[in-house]
Amino acid sequence: MGRFSILLLTTMTAVVLTGCQSAPVSTPTPEAAVTPTPTAAPTPTPTPQPPTTATLAVCGDVMSHMPVTNDAWDEGAGIYDYTPIFEAARPYVEGADYAVANLETTLSTQGPYSGYPAFKSPAALAGDLKDLGFDLVLTANNHCLDRGYDGLVSTLDQLDQAGLAHVGTARSAEEAQPDTAIQVADVGGISVAFLGYTYGTNGIPLPSGKDYAVNLFNTDYMTTLSTPDTDRLEADLAAARALDTDLIAVMIHWGVEYQTTQNSYQEELTDLLIANGADLVLGGHSHVPQPLEMRTVTAADGTQHTGFVCYSLGNFISSQVDPLTDTTAVLTLELTLDHETGEAGVTGWSYVPMLMVRRDGTAQVFTLTDASAIPAGASDALVHKLEQAVSDCASILGPTPASP
């Protein structure tokens, strides 16, 4: 093979080898990494807190005239026991979140006991009221000084021993200060500040040096009983508002006995109380029922405030015989707290008519009876009385159930 051939072969081989190689591949420039922007999680819509609803049972005047006191005596057990007398009210009192009444007597562990005109009743009454389901009683009324200052102190001592809260009277100046005199209660999750007052003390002056003993809403409690102590009421209600409770309730002893309608003075006082923050005004003293109503008042600053008023529920227990003094009702108020607005108030009510039945025999037996349910075996006379009690309550208190 000649030199030219070898060169040619070499050249061809080089060409062939070169032609078999792949073309160079360009490597792409990597793009800069992009960090995704995190998507904010949606803010969950808070679940609205449902309104809180509670029930407050209200009863009338608890009076122990001597026939009632004698009936409460259990000879076999050697004790005073009032529970059989008002047992029929237990489902309505015990069934409420909180229950209140007006205690219109003094209490003592020592006899002799007495009824009208100067009441002194067995201390067992306090424990029996607590057992029935009551939580608080008004002690400011025209009979609270029937046994003087000592009787007032004894009454409060017995209530404390029974575990019953009280408003309206005080054993000391310290106890009469707003921070202790105003009772704040948890009523089924709704806070309520309770205050208590009376128009007078049946002409018995306050003990010397103890003006704090009884909460009086009249400046002329020994004379005309017609001049409200506006300064005191306004100051007390300001103290109650400062407690920042959901509701304020004023229990008050007022009006004219045996009248089934309120008078103008009661209405004026109601307006004064509501204008200064009272949401509930719970009255007693008339010994017969008086109306229920919602009342709207314009305050001095131009704002409007609505409150519920019970002028009177008559006697819870007694042995009075005047017309309608045996007729009463257990009132149940529906209280509602709106957590969204912070507003609270009475959103409804109902009542159960009751009749204090007096049966004469070898002994006088008193039974508070549910007038809306005729007991088996009731005589025609008792049936008529029960039906009349239902009718009377409807005409005075209004139809049941009622709503504002």
In-domain check, residue 374: yes
**Which residues form the domain of 265?**
71-397
pLDDT of residue 362: 43
The CATH code of the domain that includes 214 is 3.60.21
Instruction: Inform me whether the pLDDT recorded for 24 exceeds 90.
Output: no
Distance CA 97, CA 101 (A): 14
Q: How confident is the model at residue 404 (pLDDT cuts 50, 70, 90)?
A: very low
Instruction: Inform me whether the pLDDT recorded for 169 exceeds 50.
Output: yes
Instruction: Identify the sign of the CA torsion 184, 187, 192, 194.
Output: negative
Look over the chain and give the mean of its residue pLDDT values, rounded to a whole number: 90
Residues present in the chain in total: 404
Q: How confident is the model at residue 358 (pLDDT cuts 50, 70, 90)?
A: confident
Residue among 352, 349, 348 at smallest CA distance from 389 = 352
In-domain check, residue 34: no
What DSSP string runs through 242-296? HTT-SEEEEEEE-S-TT-SS--HHHHHHHHHHHHTT-SEEEEE-SSSEEEEEEEE
CA-based end-to-end distance of the chain: 129
Instruction: Inform me whether the pLDDT recorded for 21 exceeds 60.
Output: no
In-domain check, residue 56: no
Instruction: Inform me whether the pLDDT recorded for 119 exceeds 50.
Output: yes
Domain total of the chain: 1
In-domain check, residue 144: yes
In-domain check, residue 157: yes
pLDDT of residue 359: 66
Question: What is the value of pTM for the model shown?
Answer: 0.88
Least confident of 44-48, 123-127, 351-355: 44-48
| Eight-class DSSP state of 169 | B
In-domain check, residue 221: yes
In-domain check, residue 340: yes
Q: How confident is the model at residue 2 (pLDDT cuts 50, 70, 90)?
A: very low
In-domain check, residue 146: yes
Q: Is residue 260 a contact partner of residue 396, using CB atoms and an 8 Å limit?
A: yes
